[in-house]
Amino acid sequence: MTVGFIDPGNWAANVAAGAQFGYALLWVVTLSTIMLVLLQHNAAHLGIATGLCLSEAATAHLPRPVSVSIILTAVAAAAATALAELLGAAIALQMLFHSVLG
Protein backbone atom coordinates (compact mmCIF):
# COMPACT_ATOMS: atom_id res chain seq x y z
CA MET A 1 0.00 0.00 0.00
CA THR A 2 1.45 3.29 -1.01
CA VAL A 3 0.12 6.73 -1.72
CA GLY A 4 1.93 8.87 -4.26
CA PHE A 5 1.57 12.51 -3.33
CA ILE A 6 3.96 13.86 -5.94
CA ASP A 7 2.78 12.94 -9.39
CA PRO A 8 1.32 15.16 -12.12
CA GLY A 9 -2.29 14.10 -11.57
CA ASN A 10 -2.29 14.56 -7.82
CA TRP A 11 -0.27 17.75 -8.09
CA ALA A 12 -2.77 19.31 -10.51
CA ALA A 13 -5.76 18.18 -8.45
CA ASN A 14 -4.17 19.56 -5.27
CA VAL A 15 -3.37 22.91 -6.87
CA ALA A 16 -6.88 23.24 -8.31
CA ALA A 17 -8.52 22.26 -5.00
CA GLY A 18 -6.23 24.59 -3.05
CA ALA A 19 -7.01 27.47 -5.39
CA GLN A 20 -10.74 26.91 -4.95
CA PHE A 21 -11.01 26.00 -1.25
CA GLY A 22 -7.84 27.40 0.35
CA TYR A 23 -7.03 25.96 3.76
CA ALA A 24 -10.48 24.39 4.22
CA LEU A 25 -9.19 21.04 2.89
CA LEU A 26 -6.02 20.96 4.99
CA TRP A 27 -7.58 18.48 7.41
CA VAL A 28 -7.98 16.00 4.52
CA VAL A 29 -4.25 16.09 3.83
CA THR A 30 -3.48 15.69 7.53
CA LEU A 31 -5.83 12.73 8.03
CA SER A 32 -4.74 11.02 4.82
CA THR A 33 -1.10 11.31 5.84
CA ILE A 34 -1.86 9.82 9.26
CA MET A 35 -3.80 6.97 7.64
CA LEU A 36 -0.93 6.42 5.19
CA VAL A 37 1.54 6.02 8.05
CA LEU A 38 -0.77 3.63 9.93
CA LEU A 39 -1.50 1.49 6.86
CA GLN A 40 2.15 1.32 5.82
CA HIS A 41 3.20 0.42 9.36
CA ASN A 42 0.59 -2.34 9.68
CA ALA A 43 1.24 -3.71 6.19
CA ALA A 44 4.98 -3.85 6.90
CA HIS A 45 4.43 -5.67 10.19
CA LEU A 46 2.04 -8.12 8.55
CA GLY A 47 4.52 -8.87 5.77
CA ILE A 48 7.50 -9.20 8.12
CA ALA A 49 5.69 -11.38 10.65
CA THR A 50 3.79 -13.67 8.28
CA GLY A 51 5.30 -13.24 4.84
CA LEU A 52 1.79 -12.59 3.50
CA CYS A 53 0.27 -9.55 1.86
CA LEU A 54 -3.07 -8.16 3.07
CA SER A 55 -5.21 -10.10 0.60
CA GLU A 56 -3.38 -13.39 1.28
CA ALA A 57 -3.70 -12.95 5.04
CA ALA A 58 -7.38 -12.00 4.79
CA THR A 59 -8.12 -15.05 2.63
CA ALA A 60 -6.17 -17.40 4.90
CA HIS A 61 -7.35 -16.17 8.32
CA LEU A 62 -10.79 -14.58 7.98
CA PRO A 63 -14.23 -15.89 7.04
CA ARG A 64 -14.93 -15.66 3.33
CA PRO A 65 -17.50 -12.78 3.48
CA VAL A 66 -15.14 -10.67 5.58
CA SER A 67 -12.11 -11.37 3.39
CA VAL A 68 -14.08 -10.63 0.22
CA SER A 69 -15.28 -7.31 1.67
CA ILE A 70 -11.72 -6.36 2.65
CA ILE A 71 -10.37 -7.25 -0.79
CA LEU A 72 -13.20 -5.39 -2.57
CA THR A 73 -12.52 -2.34 -0.39
CA ALA A 74 -8.83 -2.45 -1.35
CA VAL A 75 -9.76 -2.75 -5.04
CA ALA A 76 -12.17 0.20 -4.72
CA ALA A 77 -9.42 2.26 -3.06
CA ALA A 78 -7.01 1.42 -5.88
CA ALA A 79 -9.64 2.37 -8.47
CA ALA A 80 -10.33 5.65 -6.66
CA THR A 81 -6.62 6.45 -6.65
CA ALA A 82 -6.40 5.79 -10.39
CA LEU A 83 -9.50 7.91 -10.99
CA ALA A 84 -8.01 10.78 -8.98
CA GLU A 85 -4.88 10.66 -11.12
CA LEU A 86 -6.93 10.66 -14.33
CA LEU A 87 -9.01 13.60 -13.14
CA GLY A 88 -5.88 15.43 -12.04
CA ALA A 89 -4.31 14.88 -15.45
CA ALA A 90 -7.48 16.20 -17.10
CA ILE A 91 -7.41 19.28 -14.88
CA ALA A 92 -3.72 19.81 -15.67
CA LEU A 93 -4.32 19.53 -19.41
CA GLN A 94 -7.28 21.88 -19.22
CA MET A 95 -5.24 24.42 -17.25
CA LEU A 96 -2.32 24.09 -19.66
CA PHE A 97 -4.25 24.35 -22.91
CA HIS A 98 -6.72 26.92 -21.65
CA SER A 99 -3.86 29.21 -20.68
CA VAL A 100 -2.07 28.58 -24.00
CA LEU A 101 -5.18 28.94 -26.15
CA GLY A 102 -7.02 31.56 -24.10
Which tens digit of pLDDT belongs to each residue from 51-60?
998 889 989 9
What pLDDT does residue 49 have?
93
Percent helix / strand / coil, the chain, rounded to 5: 85, 0, 15
Query: What count of residues does the chain have?
Result: 102
What pLDDT does residue 2 have?
46
| More confident: 6 or 82 | 82
Q: State the Cα torsion 35-7-94-97 to the nearest 10°.
A: 160
Q: What is the DSSP secondary-structure string of 19-75?
A: HHHGGGGHHHHHHHHHHHHHHHHHHHHHHHHHS--HHHHHHHHS-HHHHHHHHHHHH
Q: What is the DSSP secondary-structure string of 23-37?
A: GGGHHHHHHHHHHHH
